[in-house]
Amino acid sequence: MRIATWNVNGINTRLERLLDWLKSSGTDVLCLQELKCTAEQFPAQALADAGYEAAFTATGRWNGVAVLSRVGLTDPVTALPDAPEFEGVLEPRAVAATCGGVRVWSVYVPNGRDPEHAHYQYKLRWLAALRDTAARDAGGDTPYAILGDFNVAPKDEDVWDISLFENSTHVTGPERDALTALAATGLTELSPRALKYDVAFTFWDYRQLNFPKNRGMRIDHIYANPAFAAAVTDSFVDREARKGKSPSDHAPVVADLEL
């Protein structure tokens, strides 16, 4: 089974590319983030025509998440339990489903904006709610994984130049501690192969030729319980999907499982 995560940065803008990638990659289950569409705008029929069921939550702003599956989709959950609100709004940032006997969460962790901004504290509270969910649900024999855009680079080498990130989000101690706390629930972060460079970056800003210069960040992750991790035969970042006309600024992170 092939399971992947991809911040698509606008599902309708990227729909043709997405459908082509699903076909060429042979992906069975795909977790998507940053849909940037309303529920009414979600392309459910186009995905169904391609053979994929979908569980999703979206409100049309800078968020929205989905799970796509061609191996069955049951028990969808369209909100993270006990997730905090931001400015009185419960944002659509998490969705879960069981697909082919594997339980997956697709998550889009808040950006944080700036360590002095209220959005940063919201990010930490959101990550704490995610940790609590994993602590409740990740045990047992069912393969289970949390996949998505975490907006956190776990180590200094996960950004192209750490000296440029002083006093910035994505690399602060509390954010990284939150990922450590998530792993402490019994999850392991998969270490994807980089198909070209030493570090498997997953995001490159559109500006200043950052992608061809490989000025990237590794902020998209897969955290797996022992049953999931034991089944993994390979994991990699599909950097090719970041190339070409009108790409997302993220590349898919892929895991192959032998179940």
As annotated, the active-site residues are: 108, 149, 250
20 is in an annotated binding site: no
7 is in an annotated binding site: yes
34 is in an annotated binding site: yes
As given in the structure block, the two tokens for residue 26 are 């042979």
User: Would you give the distance in Å from CA 116 to the centre of its chain?
Assistant: 25
Cβ count within 10 A of residue 39:
14
158 is in an annotated binding site: no
9 is in an annotated binding site: no
Q: Are 53 and 72 in contact (CB under 8 A)?
A: yes
Torsion angle (degrees, nearest 10) of CA 13, 18, 19, 21:
150
Cβ count within 10 A of residue 106:
27
Nearest of 158, 151, 154, 144 to residue 34 by alpha carbon: 151
Backbone angles phi, psi at 209, to 5 degrees: 55, 35
Binding-site entries: 7, 34, 149, 151, 249-250
Binding site for Mg(2+): residue ranges? Answer: 7, 34, 149, 151, 249-250
